[in-house]
Amino acid sequence: MGLNFMGFSDQYPPKDTRLVQAECTGCDAHIPDYCQMCPKCDTKFPTCIVSGRPLLDYQFWLCPTCKHRAYEQEISSMRYCPLCHGDV
């Protein structure tokens, strides 16, 4: 007796469980939180230098040396900027 993998995959298609939606700051469209640009209005988002995720919040950390940005909660555990190695 063998397993029917084809029937199983048809019955339970794969789902991306980590898909988190964010709201575009330009047009309020819902986009995946990993998009660097809104597919609807082409608004480009700065990138967090720690996680690589787009910065969709207005509050963020700004490196005093290289002026790159990061989410405050991402950079809080670091002592140095990941790009220029300046003090955090």
User: What tokens does 5 get?
Assistant: 């993998």
CB-based burial of residue 8 (10 Å sphere; 0-12 exposed, 13-18 middle, 19+ buried)? Answer: exposed
pLDDT at 2 over 60: no
Higher pLDDT, 13 or 32: 32
pTM check: above 0.85 = no
Mean pLDDT in residue range 40-52 = 93
Give the integer Cα–Cα distance in Å for 17 and 62.
31
